[in-house]
Structure 1
C-alpha cells in the first residue's frame, strides 16, 4: 500500500471513531475550521478546543496541575461568571487553580510541507492558584479581576481563531494555484535567484531591516497566535 492510500485509510479510521472528549462534540467556534481541514486530502483533525476557562482542584499534593488526576470544578467555553466560580470554589478540598486555555487544534498531516502550512504557536494562556488545602487564598475582588482578564483573553482568542482560519484558507488557495501553474512558480523562483545574485548584499540588508521592524512591532503583543512566515507575505 502506498503512503497516500495508507494515509487515507488512517484518516477514515480516525474520523469514524466516537468523540471521547468530555464535551462529546466539536466546539461551536471551530466547527467550520475542523470541517474545512477534514474535507482536504492532506489533513485530518485528531482533537480540538476552541478555548476555555477552567477551575481545577489538584488535591493537596502541590500546585502542579495535571488534568488527568484532578477534579474539574468548573469548565466553560464561554465568558466566565464570578458567581459560578465562587460556588465551584466551595467544593475544593485541595489546591484550586483558575486557568484560561486558548484555542488548540491537533492535525495529522500527510507530508511535512502540509504540516508547515499549519505552524502555530501561542502563549495566550492564564494559570493562577486560588486556594490551598481547601482554604481560599484570595479575595472575591481579585477573583473578579482574574475573570475579567480571562474573559478578555477569551474574546481575543475568538479573533485569533478567525484570523488563523482566514490565513489558512489564503495559504491553501495560493498553494493550489501554484500547483496548477508550476511554470509560474518556476519563473518566480528563477527571477528571485537572478535578483539575489545580482545584488546579494542589498537583498540581505533589506531582509534584516524587515525582520527588525517586525520584531519591534511584535514587542507590544507577545504572540499573534500564528507563525506568519508560513503564510503569504502579501496577505
Structure 2
C-alpha cells in the first residue's frame, strides 16, 4: 500500500507534458474526484478533440512527433498528408488493487465507453483506461494535393461536432456514475479492520434495508432511478 502511495505522489508531482500545459475542464473534474481517493491516481487524459494535422509521408516514426497542427484556413498551404481527426475522451488511471479498476471499468462501460479496459504489468501495476470507439479519421490531402472538396470538409466538421456532443454526454454520464459508485463503495478495511473478510473483498456495497411494506410484498417493484444523462444544447464549433 505504501508503494502505491509513493508512486502516486511521484506521478502527480510531474510537470504536464501536453501542449496545453493544463488539464481539460471535464478531465480536471474527474482527476480531482479520483485523486482525492488514496486508491486511485490519474496519469493522462483528454476531453476529446478535433485536429487537422500535416504529416511528412517521408518521415518515419511516431506520427504525433512528426506532424504540424493546422487551422482549416491553412489547409491549402499544407505540403504533406493532411488528416482530419476526431478523438474522443480518454482517461488513464492507476489503481491500487484490481477491484478498484473493476469498479471504474463497470462505470465506464455503463456510460458508453465500450473500448475501456484494464491492464496489469509484470511489475503488478494496474491501469484502467476509459476509452470509446466513436472516432473519426479522414485523409484530406496527399503530398500537398487536396483530395476532397470544401463541401466535404464542411460535412466532416458537422459529423465531428455531432460526435463531440455525444462524447460530452458520455463524459457527464461517467462523472455522475462515478460519484454514485464511489459513494456506494466502502473500503472493506474500514469496516472489518481485524476480520478475515479483509483479504477477500476490497469493497462492500451499502444496501438499503427493505421497509416493512417491501418485506411483506417481495414482488413490489422498485421505483426507477432518475436518468443521469444531462442534455446539452451547445458545443464548441470549428471555424473554417
SS at 1:99's partner residue?
strand
**Partner in structure 1 of residue 219 of structure 2:** none
Shift of the alpha carbon at 1:69? Answer: 2.0
Determine if the alignment matches structure 1 residue 22 to structure 2 residue 24.
no
Shift of the alpha carbon at 1:29? Answer: 2.3
**Partner in structure 1 of residue 6 of structure 2:** 9
Shift of the alpha carbon at 1:46? Answer: 0.7
Q: How many residues align?
A: 172
Shift of the alpha carbon at 1:101? Answer: 0.3
Determine if the alignment matches structure 1 residue 172 to structure 2 residue 182.
yes
Of 90, 96, 99, the match for 1:113: 99
Determine if the alignment matches structure 1 residue 36 to structure 2 residue 22.
no
Of 79, 92, 109, the match for 2:78: 92
Aligned counterparts of 1:177 and 1:111: Cα–Cα separation in 2: 11
* Greater per-residue helix proportion: 1
> Structure 2, unaligned stretches of length 5 or more?
109-114, 116-131, 198-203, 208-240
Aligned counterparts of 2:63 and 2:135: Cα–Cα separation in 1: 16
RMSD: 2.6
Q: Which stretch shifts more, 19-28 or 52-61?
A: 52-61
Shift of the alpha carbon at 1:58? Answer: 1.7
* Greater per-residue strand proportion: 2
Q: For 1:188-203, what aligned pairs fall within 5 Å after superposition?
A: none
Q: Relative contact order, CA 8 A, sep 6+: which one is greater?
A: 1
**Partner in structure 2 of residue 136 of structure 1:** 146
Distance 1:165 1:18, change over 3 A: same
SS at 1:34's partner residue?
helix
Structure 1 runs of 4+ off > 3 angstroms? 177-183
**Partner in structure 2 of residue 60 of structure 1:** 57
Deviations 1:108-143 (A, max 9, x none): 111111111222421111000000110111111000
Aligned counterparts of 1:18 and 1:66: Cα–Cα separation in 2: 23
Shift of the alpha carbon at 1:32? Answer: 1.1
Deviations 1:183-209 (A, max 9, x none): 9x69x9xxxxxxxxxxxxxxxxxxxxx
Aligned counterparts of 2:188 and 2:4: Cα–Cα separation in 1: 23
**Partner in structure 2 of residue 159 of structure 1:** 169
> Structure 1, unaligned stretches of length 5 or more?
75-84, 189-235
Shift of the alpha carbon at 1:88? Answer: 2.5
TM-score for the superposition, normalised by structure 2: 0.65
Shift of the alpha carbon at 1:178? Answer: 7.3
Shift of the alpha carbon at 1:181? Answer: 6.3
TM-score for the superposition, normalised by structure 1: 0.67
SS at 1:176's partner residue?
strand
